Chains A and B, each alone.
Chain A
């Protein structure tokens, strides 16, 4: 399977990856230049958080080998795909219980801000051929995809 490898020492907190994620998953058509960064509809699925010393940590879904989110999903919406290794999310099946949010040990998941009916989760940019836009946008090389 492929995983986004994180080298936090290279991250300088520019959040290009988060903007790329918002752009990749926006509902309306458009370019990154007219992406509404303040709209609650546009949410990033990855997070750059600061540690207490001011340095940055990219928090990205691991598509875990034994995913705790899948092990809490009561609707069948979250699944570990045997072929690709990705942890996929099917919005239509989701029952909006948010036990997955509670169960991800890295705090990667959250309910959507506008309706609280969906989970905001990394899909490895399946719509773009499975090449994550965050990785393409990182100017520092702090994240890259690797076969693991």
Chain B
């Protein structure tokens, strides 16, 4: 059996490990356009010089040798599903019995002014992006970041740690608008400002013109302000990397369409991770990769071995900047009829949105100890009433149950 995996991120690596676990003798080939394996979630630590490129590797030493995975460092340019082979940029062709597409996503650079053509504008998705940013930052003083989501703040964090003057422009009236409410966002904004980062909220870049050197030296905001900059990092969203699938017959709209077994519309072709558009976070990419691998190996479901991607909840994030930690889950904005509970002191902020005794969303900032229960409570719509406790005092003790071999089970 020849398993071919395109992409060596969270989904691809997890799938490769899982396939090897089920099929000791199968052939596994991983084709990846990255020069080395790296965790995108740690790129900010590369920009800040807290970690080297090698220290971003999330696989153990000798992972590929130990698991006998053939690594091909190249880019897939097309997939021929009739002849069951993939075509690489180097013109090489690789035949497959089962194919996994785990190509993740690409940064979107909005078509504003010369942003797309200037040579000092970068997205932040791959190590290669971070390396280019790092190199140009050597001679840059003022850096503009477009977007104050998690990726934008990762860029801002890393570059301010290098002593750069960073300005972040954000369309929404607050930073981290998808993750946090006003209170939670302000806490981070203050920490970033204390570190020297400045923000322009509720405004957007209206024009950015290249100079003769093909670089943008200043941008105009819709507020009328002009901000000078030596380079720009754009963190305005991503799009699934599906360009090379044109003509393959594999159905993809925003992302590759898959069923719960991670099968695409074409037989023997699977997809997992950000490329499916089902989620944009690491844990879900891993889980999809694992389920894809099991189905690629023909594993049948049995107790303790799921083969379907059923745990689809993806409205979840943790944030950690400057030692302030936050957990955000589920709904962020209360709707009419929702109950909102807030608890606050010098060090913590907790906010829950409830409806009919069920938690729709929760935000914990400052202390997220033992907070793993909340994801379970929210995604399984557990009624939190009648435990004789205040909401934020609930622990697993209130749902404690044990199962076979000393496992814990939720007793609801």
Contact = CB atoms under 8 A, between A and B. Distances in A.
Interface stretch (B57-65, B124-132, B139-147, B169-177): B57-65
A8 B392 CA distance: 23
Interface stretch (A24-32, A107-115, A122-130, A133-141): A107-115
**Residue from B39, B317, B370, B397 with most neighbouring chain A CB atoms (10 Å):** B397
A74 B372 contact: no
B407 A62 contact: yes
Contacts of A71: 283, 286-287, 290
Interface stretch (B88-96, B98-106, B250-258, B323-331): B323-331
A51 B370 contact: no
Given A65-B304, A76-B58, A146-B406, A98 B397 contact: no
B376 A97 contact: no
Given A3-B406, A4-B406, A71-B283, A98 B57 contact: no
A142 interface: no
Contact of A109 (B41, B58, B323, B372): B372
A79 interface: yes
Contacts of A98: 318, 320, 325, 327, 368
B324 to A, nearest CB: 8
B400 interface: yes
A8 B329 contact: no
Nearest to B398: A51
B282 interface: yes
Contacts of B19: none
Contacts of B402: 6, 8
A103 interface: yes
B365 to A, nearest CB: 12
Contacts of B286: 71-72
Nearest to A99: B318
A105 B388 CA distance: 21
Interface in A29-86: 47, 49-53, 56-57, 59, 62, 64-66, 68, 71-76, 79
B375 A103 contact: yes
B42 A75 contact: yes
Given A75-B39, A75-B42, A101 B398 contact: no
Contacts, number: 141
Q: Which range holds the interface residue count of chain B?
A: 35 or more
Contact of B41 (A5, A74, A146): A74
Interface in B350-397: 368-373, 375-376, 387-389, 395-397
Contact of B327 (A52, A56, A101, A148): A101
A116 interface: yes
Nearest to A47: B370
A8 B398 CA distance: 12
Contacts of A47: 370, 395
B200 interface: no
Contact of A74 (B42, B369, B400): B42
A59 B375 contact: no
Given A71-B283, A105-B410, A76 B57 contact: yes
B387 A52 contact: yes
A97 B410 contact: no
**Residue from B373, B375, B400 with most neighbouring chain A CB atoms (10 Å):** B400
A108 B398 contact: no
**Residue from A4, A59, A79 with most neighbouring chain B CB atoms (10 Å):** A59
A114 to B, nearest CB: 9
A59 B397 CA distance: 7
B405 interface: yes
Nearest to A73: B58
A96 B320 contact: yes
**Residue from B372, B376, B398 with most neighbouring chain A CB atoms (10 Å):** B372
Interface in B195-236: none
Contacts of B405: 3, 148
B393 to A, nearest CB: 9
26 contacts: A3-B405, A49-B395, A50-B397, A57-B396, A59-B395, A59-B397, A59-B400, A74-B42, A74-B58, A97-B318, A98-B320, A98-B368, A101-B318, A101-B368, A101-B369, A101-B372, A102-B317, A102-B318, A102-B375, A103-B375, A104-B372, A105-B376, A110-B369, A111-B320, A148-B405, A148-B406
Given A3-B406, A102-B318, A103-B283, 8 more contacts: A3-B405, A68-B283, A95-B45, A102-B371, A108-B370, A116-B320, A116-B324, A148-B405
